[in-house]
Amino acid sequence: MFFPVVRLELTHTPFSFDMEKLNSSLSIQTRQPQMEINSPSPKLEIDQTLPREEAGFRTMLSFARYTAELAREQVDSFTSKTVEIGNQLAEIQNPNSTIGKISAQELFTDPDEINYQGIPLTPPEIGADVQPLSVTVQPGELNINFQPASFQTNYIPGTISGQLVPQENRLDLKV
C-alpha cells in the first residue's frame, strides 16, 4: 500500500494593534466689551435785556425807541401846556388870570422824581439747551474652541497560511 508522506508547512503573520491618543485642546479668545458715553455740555442762555433796560442800560435800538417815545410825550405835554397858557391869556381880562400866575407856574415846577431800585422788577430770561446722553455699547465676545481627546486605532489581523508539501514517494508494504 502506498502512503504518501506529506509535510504541512504553516506560515503566519502576527496581528498588529497600535493605538494613538490625540490630546484634547481648548482655546479661548476674548474681546473686551467697550462702552462709550458722550455727554455734551449743556448751554445756559441768560437774557438780561429787559432788566438792564429797566435799570437804564438800553441797547441802541431800545434807546432809540425809548427816546422817540419820550420826545412824543414831551411834545404832547408841551403842546397841551401851551394850549392851557393860551387859554389863560385869552381870559386876561378876568382879574383872576394874570400873567404873574402863569409866570409862577412856569418858574416853580416840581423836581423830577428819582427812583432807584436795586433789584429789577422783570427777572432775566433763563433757558438751557440740554442735549441727551449718548451711550454706545459694544458687547464683548467669547470664542471657545474645544476638541475632545480622541483615539485612533489601527488593527491588522494576523494571517495563517499553510500548504501540504509531499516529502518522498515511498511505498511501504507490510504483509
41 within domain boundaries: no
Mean pLDDT of 40-45: 90
Verify that 106 and 70 share a domain, yes or no: yes
**Which helix (H) or strand (E) is 65 found in, with range?**
helix 60-90
4 within domain boundaries: yes
Count of domains observed in the chain: 2
Distances (CA, A) of 75 to 18, 30, 36, 69, 109: 125, 87, 67, 10, 17
For residue 123, the cross-strand partners are none
**Cα 82 versus chain centre, distance:** 71
71 within domain boundaries: yes
Verify that 116 and 158 share a domain, yes or no: no
157 within domain boundaries: yes
pLDDT class of 75 with cuts at 50, 70, 90? very high
46 within domain boundaries: no
pLDDT for position 76: 95
Residue 89 carries which DSSP code?
Answer: H
Q: Which amino acid is at 142?
A: L
Give Cβ neighbours of residue 165 (< 8 Å, ≥ 6 apart): 6, 7, 8, 9
| pLDDT, tens digit, 9 for 90 and up, residues 155-167 | 888 888 888 777 7
| pLDDT(104) > 80 | no
Q: How far apart are CA 109 and CA 106, in angstroms?
A: 6
138 within domain boundaries: no
pLDDT class of 172 with cuts at 50, 70, 90? low
Cα-flanking dihedrals φ and ψ of residue 95, to 5°?
-70, -25
Mean pLDDT of 1-19: 76
Grid cell 481648548 — which residue? 26
Verify that 68 and 29 share a domain, yes or no: no
Mean pLDDT of 143-172: 79
Long-range contacts of 65-69 (CB under 8 A, 24+ apart): none
116 within domain boundaries: yes
24 within domain boundaries: yes
Per the structure, the complete domain to which residue 105 belongs is given by 51-122
Q: How far apart are CA 15 and CA 162, in angstroms?
A: 17
Across 27-36, 89-98, 125-134, least confident range: 89-98
Verify that 55 and 117 share a domain, yes or no: yes
Verify that 56 and 109 share a domain, yes or no: yes
Nearest 5°: CA angle at 29, between 24 and 31?
A: 165
Q: What predicted TM-score, i.e. pTM, was given to this entire model?
A: 0.38
| pLDDT(15) > 80 | yes
Nearest 5°: CA angle at 15, between 13 and 18?
A: 135
Verify that 60 and 118 share a domain, yes or no: yes
Mean pLDDT rounded to a whole number for the chain: 82
Across 18-22, 31-35, 136-140, least confident range: 18-22
